[in-house]
């Protein structure tokens, strides 16, 4: 997730969305009462402490894992993990040469050479061949042999995204010193430049220890792993241990006793975690990259309520706030605070209602369509979004957000969303139900006032058609999302802004973020084609075809593109460009300083 000179032309659609992260709002508050004076205190200098208000509670240092794929965990990763590429505020890519370099050496077959500069973990352990091979093994799914039904075989790492970028690559070839890795693809891939997601880079020496082996033993297991074949699955118990360690070892909600899970490769490292309250990071003195931190310390405080965040900003208890949801009242309050700078923009994020295809009530397409006909999308936008953004409109695409321009317009023209679900149609819903009165249980974050209001509007409308709607609101909604014990879910996705990862992650059968068990063989085929298509125009056409299928299948409904803002004390320097993607304000954290 990320922060620029290309090594050749980027083969990435800057209008497409890549791997997404869950976004929401926790209902818990945060502590801390160190008051800071307002006003400009002069030129920026190194050192000092900055406190940021966060809406969610920290749950783990591996946001690449399905159950900890949450925005705050990604923000921590932005400060503690690096990769070969950075993403700027225009969603353009550049090489992160302080970490390493990469270059494409062949188009046919696609071949890329990666070379580490001299990065290391904060405990002094070098990032080396074992780290690279583990990283590749996770993101390629090389050994995975689970069948589509999940009844045979195994996927060794439980990743939130997909393996589609790297899954056709051969076993990497390494130089003798292990610093250079060469990959060869079996098929072209539009997203090759963003293949190595920093969220998923975990320390091999720590994973090895948690798996009960040495780093050399881990490396040997990875080098000897067998390529997965769902037609002939085979057990690889040592690899299974490594996968379990990668999945579970970095999940903690308070400061762990074993500090090895806190190691960092970025400019900051985790120092302390107070459960449901805060996470503190300190400058990584062993950082070897090009973007060392200027601050001594950064604390993220969990303050679930936007009004409480504003009060904390006003009192000088926090220096930066970037709420996930924005309403007119809170925006007006922030803009009235003296000595605070406000940046506004459209987030690369959207709220949506997904129907669970694994639920008994929604196995019937007519019932799915009937429920969607009752969703008052225009009313939701009018009441919740227009007061903040007067030209806000209902979102009519699952693939693109409104601010992405021409691709969004093409999708909207093709998918039929406006015609089919533009207006609430209670009578049409009743006709489809034929006298039935299904119960629909909706999972959402009841600590987020905007989601509570959205749920209530949906409930009131759906019950007019005969549905019974049950409230499954829960502050721990994100942990319950993968379990599937609900009929519909109401939440948001936030994007890194580049690539096409979201196609596989959300809409492909078995995708890491396909929580609602959606499956359409035509969509699976189109996803594979789009992700290997280097022609941007043709790729957009394929993506809009996928969009059309989702509306035809009554997948669910997009609601609106999220409005965003960042409010910063004028005592903080370096926070001067709005970043709409999932990294948000943390995209250039190494440039922050106190004046």
* 279 shares its domain with 353: no
- Contacts for 402 with CB less than 8 Å, ≥ 6 apart: 346, 393, 395, 408, 561
pLDDT value at residue 10: 23
Decide: residue 535, CB within 10 A, 0-12 exposed, 13-18 middle, 19+ buried: exposed
List per-block mean pLDDT (blocks of 10 residues) for the chain, which spans 595 residues: 22 34 40 35 80 95 92 95 92 93 96 97 98 98 89 92 90 96 94 90 98 98 97 96 98 97 98 97 97 98 92 97 83 93 89 97 97 98 92 95 92 96 98 97 91 97 98 91 95 78 89 92 95 90 97 98 93 93 93 96
Decide: residue 256, CB within 10 A, 0-12 exposed, 13-18 middle, 19+ buried: middle
The overall longest dimension of the chain from CA atoms, in Å, is 71
Query: Is residue 263 included in any domain, yes or no?
Result: yes
Q: How many domains in the chain? A: 3
Cα separation, 377 vs 100, in Å, equals: 46
**49-102, pLDDT tens digit by residue?**
999 999 889 999 999 998 898 889 999 999 999 999 998 988 889 999 999 999
Query: Is residue 389 included in any domain, yes or no?
Result: yes
CATH value at residue 315: 3.40.190.10
Query: Is residue 525 included in any domain, yes or no?
Result: yes
* 363 shares its domain with 294: no
CATH value at residue 90: 3.90.76.10
Query: Is residue 480 included in any domain, yes or no?
Result: yes
* 314 shares its domain with 336: yes
pLDDT value at residue 511: 87
* 157 shares its domain with 110: yes
* 280 shares its domain with 223: no
Decide: residue 223, CB within 10 A, 0-12 exposed, 13-18 middle, 19+ buried: middle
* 182 shares its domain with 217: yes
CATH value at residue 380: 3.10.105.10
pLDDT value at residue 496: 65
* 89 shares its domain with 203: yes
Angle among Cα 438, 442, 444 to the nearest 5 degrees reads 175
Identify the domain boundary among 248, 268, 290.
248
* 230 shares its domain with 274: no
Closest among 536, 544, 542, 523 to 416, alpha carbons compared = 544
* 481 shares its domain with 524: yes
Q: What is the DSSP letter of 169?
A: B
Query: Is residue 72 included in any domain, yes or no?
Result: no
* 98 shares its domain with 238: yes
Domain span at residue 475 reads: 347-562
Q: What percent of the chain has pLDDT over 90?
A: 76
At 185 the three-state DSSP class reads strand
* 301 shares its domain with 439: no
Could you tell me if 452 and 473 are in contact, meaning their C-beta atoms sit under 8 angstroms apart?
yes
Identify the domain boundary among 204, 227, 248.
248
Identify the domain boundary among 229, 248, 267.
248
* 340 shares its domain with 353: no
Query: Is residue 53 included in any domain, yes or no?
Result: yes
Query: Is residue 75 included in any domain, yes or no?
Result: no
| Assigned token pair, 174 | 């390494």
pLDDT value at residue 581: 86
Query: Is residue 578 included in any domain, yes or no?
Result: yes
Q: Phi/psi of residue 363, each to 5°?
A: -70, -25
């Amino acid at each position: 997730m990320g922060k620029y000179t290309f090594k050749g032309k980027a083969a990435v659609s800057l209008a497409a969305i890549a791997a997404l992260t869950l976004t929401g709002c926790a209902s818990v508050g945060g502590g801390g009462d160190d008051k800071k004076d307002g006003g400009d205190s002069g030129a920026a200098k190194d050192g000092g402490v900055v406190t940021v208000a966060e809406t969610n509670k920290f749950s783990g240092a591996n946001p690449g894992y399905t159950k900890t794929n949450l925005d705050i965990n990604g923000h921590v990763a932005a400060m503690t993990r690096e990769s070969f590429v950075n993403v700027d505020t225009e969603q353009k890519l550049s090489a992160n040469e302080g970490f390493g370099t990469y270059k494409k050496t062949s188009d046919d077959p696609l071949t890329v050479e990666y070379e580490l500069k001299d990065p290391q973990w904060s405990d002094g352990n070098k990032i080396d061949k074992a780290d690279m091979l583990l990283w590749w093994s996770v993101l390629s799914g090389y050994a995975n042999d689970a069948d589509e039904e999940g009844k045979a075989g195994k996927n060794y790492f439980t990743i939130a995204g997909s393996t589609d970028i790297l899954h056709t690559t051969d076993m990497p070839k390494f130089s003798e010193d292990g610093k250079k890795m060469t990959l060869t693809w079996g098929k072209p891939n539009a997203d090759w430049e963003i293949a190595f997601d920093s969220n998923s880079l975990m320390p091999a020496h720590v994973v090895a220890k948690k798996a009960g082996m040495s780093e050399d033993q881990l490396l040997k297991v990875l080098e000897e792993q067998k390529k997965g074949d769902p037609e002939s699955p085979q057990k690889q118990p040592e690899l299974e241990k490594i996968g379990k360690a990668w999945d579970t070892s970095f999940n903690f909600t308070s400061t762990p006793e074993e500090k090895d899970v806190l190691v960092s490769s970025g400019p900051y490292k985790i120092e302390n975690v107070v459960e449901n309250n805060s996470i503190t990071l300190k400058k990584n003195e062993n950082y070897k990259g090009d973007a060392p931190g200027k601050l001594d310390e950064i604390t993220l405080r969990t303050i679930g309520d936007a009004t409480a965040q504003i009060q904390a900003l006003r009192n000088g208890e926090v220096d930066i706030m970037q709420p996930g949801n924005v309403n007119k009242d809170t925006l007006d309050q922030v803009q009235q605070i003296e000595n605070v700078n406000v940046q506004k923009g459209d987030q690369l994020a959207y709220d949506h209602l997904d129907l669970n295809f694994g639920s008994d009530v929604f196995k019937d397409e007519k019932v799915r369509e009937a429920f969607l006909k009752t969703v008052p999308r225009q009313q939701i936008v009018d009441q919740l979004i227009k007061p903040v953004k007067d030209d806000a409109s209902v979102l009519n695409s699952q693939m693109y957000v409104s601010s992405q321009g021409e691709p969004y317009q093409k999708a909207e023209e093709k998918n039929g969303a406006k015609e089919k679900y533009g207006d609430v149609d209670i009578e049409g819903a009743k006709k489809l139900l034929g006298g039935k009165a299904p119960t629909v249980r909706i999972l959402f974050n009841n600590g987020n006032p905007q989601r509570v209001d959205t749920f209530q509007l949906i409930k009131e409308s759906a019950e007019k058609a005969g549905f019974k709607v049950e409230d499954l609101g829960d502050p721990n909604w994100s942990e319950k999302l993968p379990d599937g014990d609900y009929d519909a879910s109401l939440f948001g996705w936030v994007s890194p802004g580049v690539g096409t990862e979201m196609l596989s992650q959300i809409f492909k059968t078995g995708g890491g973020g396909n929580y609602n068990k959606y499956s359409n063989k035509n969509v699976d085929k189109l996803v594979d084609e789009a992700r290997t298509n280097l022609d941007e125009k043709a790729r957009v056409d394929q993506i809009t075809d996928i969009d059309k299928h989702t509306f035809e299948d009554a997948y669910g409904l997009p609601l609106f593109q999220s409005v965003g803002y960042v409010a910063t004390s004028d005592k903080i320097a370096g926070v001067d460009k709005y970043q709409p993607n999932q990294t948000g304000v943390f995209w250039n954290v190494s440039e922050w300083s106190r004046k």
